[in-house]
A and B are shown apart, each in its own frame.
Chain A
C-alpha cells in the first residue's frame, strides 16, 4: 500500500522538476544557515562557523543527488531523457529514419498480419464455456462399393440420437447442420444472403452460450422457432428490444424469433457466421423434402466427462455404433462397422483452416525471414550511422560516460525506431489483413477480423524482439573504441563495423535468394497449373450450376426442365452449343462406377471401379473435348434407345489394348450392358491436379437426368454477354434454380485459390526482401564511397580514369552479391531438403530444389545488385580529384 503510494508520488515528481529543485536548494540553504547561526551562538566567528557548517554538511551536490534518486524514478528519467535525445536524432536524419522505420514497418506489419489470420483461423478457441472440453466426433467407414475406407465427418441423425442416449463418456452432446442456401425474408421482403444453422435442442446449453435476449433453442421437436445472432440483430434490426416474437421466414416458412444469442458468438464454425439458429427437426419443413433420420446428416460435438480421454471415448462410440439398428446406420445398406474418432473441438470447425493452415504456416516462416532481413537492414544502417557519430561517442566516453550507459542510450534509440516501425506496422497489418482475407474463398467469421489484445501483444513482442535483434550488436560495436587513438585523429570508420556491415548485407542477399526461390516455386506452380491442358477447351465456355431439388422439380419433371433449359439457352445469340453434366466441370466432384468388361485382359484391380460422368447430348461438342473415334451423344440417346457409353483413351488402352473398342460392350453390373459408341481424348474434367484415369461417359437422358447439376454453354465469342442473358433465362424459368454462373476460366480460378494465395503473397514478400537487400547494398556502397573519397581522389590523381572508378565500385557490389548468392544457394538447397516433403502438396510439377528457379532468383539478385551499385559507382566516377583530395 505505502509502496504503491510512494511510487505514484515519485511518478508525479517526474513533472515540475525545476520547482522541486529550487525548493531543495532553498531548504538546504536554510538548514546551512541554522547551523551557522548555532555555531556563532556557540562563540565561533562567522567564518569559522560557516566553515564548520560546510564540513558538517558534507557535499551538498551529493546530498542533492541522493534526494533526486529517491524523489523521482531515476530509471524512468534517464529513459525519458534518452527518448527525447533519440527523437532529436531522428528528426535530424529524416531520410535515414524513414528508411529504417519503413523497413521495420513492412517486416513487423507482415508478421502481424499473417499472425492475426493464423490466430483467428487456427489458434484461437471458440468463445464458449470451457472450450478445451469440447470434442468433435468423426470417423471412418468402409465402403463396399468403392472398396475403400472413407472419412466421415457427418452422421445420420439416428446415429446421433443413439450416441446421445447411450454413451457414458460425454456429459453433453449436440448436433448441427447448415441449411443449404436458405432464403430469408422479413416482413415479406427478401433478405440478402444469410446463413441458417439447424441445431439440436442441446446446442446452446451444451456450448454454454447464453442469450442477450429471450431464450436459446431448447427443443428437439419440430417447432417453428429461431434464435438470431447478435450481429444480425444489430445489422438488420438495429438492436430492436421488441424483437422477440417477431417473424422471420426461411424458404417461405415463418418462424418466431425466440431469442438473440450473446454477442461475439458466431457459431462453431470459423468459416461462416450463421444469422439464424433453428431446431434440427425443422429440416424437412424448410427444405420441402421429407427427411428420415437416417438421411439427415449432422455434425456432432460433445463435452468429455471429467477424466475421460479422447481415445477411450472413441472406442466406446465405435462399440455403440455396432448397436445402431442396421437401417439407421451410415449409407443405409452398408452393414460394415465404422471406426469412430474423437478429436479436440475447442477451436471449432473450419474447412478454411484445413485448407489454409499449411500455406499460412509457410507464409509465417516467410514473413519471419523477411523481418530478419529488415533487421539486418536496419542494423547495417545503424552501423553506418554509428561511424558518423563516432566523434560524439568518443567525446562522451572521454568525459566519463560509462559504456553501459552509452549502450543503453543507443538501445533506447533502437527501441524508439522499432516502436515507430511497430506502430506503422500495425496499421499496415490491419490493411494487409483485409487484403489477405480477400484472397480466401470464403470470408471467415468476424472473430478473425478483430483487432484485440492478442494481436497487439504479438505486435509488441515482435517490436521488442526486433529492437534487440538489430540494436544490440551495433550498440556494442559503436561503443568499442580506443579512446587515445580516437581522440587524436578522427578516423572515419571502424574496420570491424565495416566488416560486420558486409556480413549483414551478404546475409541479406542469401536470405533473399531463399525467399525469392520459394516465391519462384509457388508462382511457378501456379503458372503451371494455369497452363495445364485440361483436354477440353475452357475458353468461351460458360458453366451454370443449378439445384433442381431446391427449385421443387421431382422425377420426370427434371428431364422436362432439362430439355426446356437446353432449348431456351440455345436460342440465346452467340451460343453455339449447350449440354449438361452431372458434377460440374472442375468442381472436384466425381462419380464412381464399377465395370465389367467381357473377356477382360487387364489385371483385375481397383481399376475396376472407374470415374464416370453423366453428360447431356452434344457434350463433347460443347466442351470441345475431341473424340478420337465414334460419335457424340444426341438427344436421341434416351430411355427408349439402346444403352450407350463413351470411354476415354485411358480406359480404351487398359481394357481394349490394340483393339478398336467402338461397337464393343461393357457392363456395370448384372443386366446393364452398354455399347461403346465413342472414344474421347483424356480430359481433366474433375480437377486439374490429377492425371486422368480410365473414365466413362453416360448419356444423362438415358438414366440419371435428375442428377444433372450443371449446364455447359459453348459461346462463339466473348462469353460475358451470354452470361447475362443466360442468367435471365434461367431465372425466368424458376428463380430458385440458379446456384451460380461462371465462365470456365473463372471456375478454374476458384480451384486455384490456395496456390494463388501462397503464390501472390510469397511473391510479394520475396519482392520485399529483394527491395530490402538492394537498400542494404546501396547503403553500404554509398557509405563506402563516401568513406573512400580521399582514396578515390588519390587514385584519380595517379591516373585512374572515371571508367576504372565506376568499375571498382560496381565490382565490389557484384562481389558482395555473388558471395551472398554463393552462400544462399547451398542454404536454399538445405532448406528445400528440409521442407521438401512439407511443401510438396503445394507444388505442381516442380521440385522444391528446382535448379531453374534457383538460377533465376540468383540472376535477379545479381541484376538488382548491379542497379544498387550503379548509383554509388557513378558518384565515385564523378568525383573531382582535387576536391576529393581535400575532403575532410
Chain B
C-alpha cells in the first residue's frame, strides 16, 4: 500500500501557480483541496507549508491577494495569478518537464543496458 506523501516546498509553489491558472482566483482551502484532488489524493497539503508558500509567492509578486466573499457568503482571502506569475509558471513548468524527461530517459536507458 502506498502512503500519502507530503508535498515538498519547491513543487508546491508550482502546483499553487498551476491551480490558480486553471481555476482563477481561489482561497487557501480551495487551493489545497484542488491540489489534493488533482493528485488523486496521493498528496496531503499541510497548512504549515501552504501558508508560508503563499506568503512567499505574494512577496515575490507572482500572486496577488484580496478579500472577497465566497459562494456561501463567507469572507475569505482570495489569491490570483499575476502576469509575472503566469510567466514564472511557464518557465517552471518547462523546467520541470525537462527535468522529468531527463530523469525518465536516464531511468529507461539504465534499464535497457
A interface with B by C-beta (< 8 Å): 2-3, 5-6, 9-10, 23-24, 26-28, 30-31, 33-35, 37-38, 57-59, 62-64, 66-67, 69-71
Contacts and interface: CB of A to CB of B under 8 A. Distances in A.
B55 A67 contact: yes
B56 A6 contact: yes
Most buried by B among A5, A27, A33: A27
Contact of A35 (B29, B46, B75): B29
The main secondary structure of chain B at its interface with chain A is helix
A66 B75 contact: no
Interface in B2-31: 27-30
B47 A34 contact: no
B70 A66 contact: no
A35 B70 CA distance: 13
A27 B60 contact: no
Contact of A31 (B29, B52, B60): B29
Given A38-B33, A58-B46, A10 B59 contact: yes
A23 B77 CA distance: 9
A69 B47 CA distance: 14
Lowest 9 A-B CB distances belong to which pairs?
A6-B59, A70-B52, A31-B29, A34-B29, A30-B76, A63-B48, A9-B59, A2-B60, A27-B77
Contacts of A38: 33
A560 B85 CA distance: 99
18 contacts: A2-B60, A5-B59, A6-B56, A26-B77, A28-B47, A30-B29, A31-B27, A31-B32, A34-B70, A34-B74, A37-B72, A58-B46, A59-B48, A63-B48, A66-B49, A66-B52, A67-B51, A67-B52
A71 B30 CA distance: 21
Contacts of A70: 52, 55-56
Contact of A5 (B33, B46, B61, B76): B61
Contacts of A30: 27, 29, 70, 74-77
Contacts of A24: 51
A27 B28 contact: yes
B11 to A, nearest CB: 17
A71 B74 CA distance: 25
B52 A5 contact: no
Contacts of A26: 75, 77
B76 A34 contact: yes
Contacts of B29: 30-31, 34-35
Interface string B44-80: 0011110110011011110000000010101111000
B3 to A, nearest CB: 16
Nearest to A3: B60
Contact of B47 (A5, A6, A58): A58
A390 to B, nearest CB: 38
B52 A6 contact: no
Most buried by B among A24, A64, A67: A67
A378 B75 CA distance: 56
B51 A63 contact: yes
A66 B56 contact: no
B63 to A, nearest CB: 12
Nearest to B45: A56
Contacts of A34: 27, 29-30, 70, 74, 76
B76 A62 contact: no
B9 to A, nearest CB: 11
A28 B51 CA distance: 9
A57 B47 contact: yes
Given A2-B60, A71-B55, 15 more contacts: A5-B59, A27-B27, A27-B28, A30-B74, A31-B28, A31-B47, A33-B74, A34-B74, A35-B29, A37-B72, A58-B46, A59-B48, A66-B51, A66-B52, A67-B51
Contact of A6 (B28, B49, B60): B60
A147 to B, nearest CB: 82
A59 B51 CA distance: 13
A339 to B, nearest CB: 69
A2 B77 contact: no
A66 B48 contact: yes
B72 to A, nearest CB: 7
Nearest to A53: B29
Contacts of B32: 31
Interface string B73-96: 011110000000000000000000
A704 to B, nearest CB: 87
Nearest to B30: A34
A31 B29 CA distance: 5
B60 to A, nearest CB: 4
A499 to B, nearest CB: 48
Contacts of A33: 74
Nearest to B32: A31
Contacts of A64: 51
Nearest to B50: A63
A28 to B, nearest CB: 8
Nearest to B51: A67
B57 to A, nearest CB: 9
B78 to A, nearest CB: 10
B17 to A, nearest CB: 13
A69 B48 contact: no
Nearest to B49: A66
A800 B64 CA distance: 80
Contacts of B74: 30, 33-34
Nearest to B60: A2
B56 A63 contact: no
A324 to B, nearest CB: 73
A3 B56 CA distance: 10
Given A5-B61, A6-B60, A58 B76 contact: no
A285 B39 CA distance: 98
Nearest to B88: A2
Nearest to B77: A27
A71 B54 CA distance: 10
B48 A58 contact: yes
B76 A31 contact: yes
A861 to B, nearest CB: 60
Contacts of A27: 27-28, 76-77
A33 B72 CA distance: 11
A62 B49 CA distance: 10
Contacts of A57: 47
B113 to A, nearest CB: 41
Contacts of A67: 51-52, 55
A67 B51 CA distance: 6
Contact of A63 (B30, B47, B72, B77): B47
Contacts of B59: 5-6, 9-10
A66 B52 CA distance: 6
B48 A62 contact: yes
Contacts of A23: 77
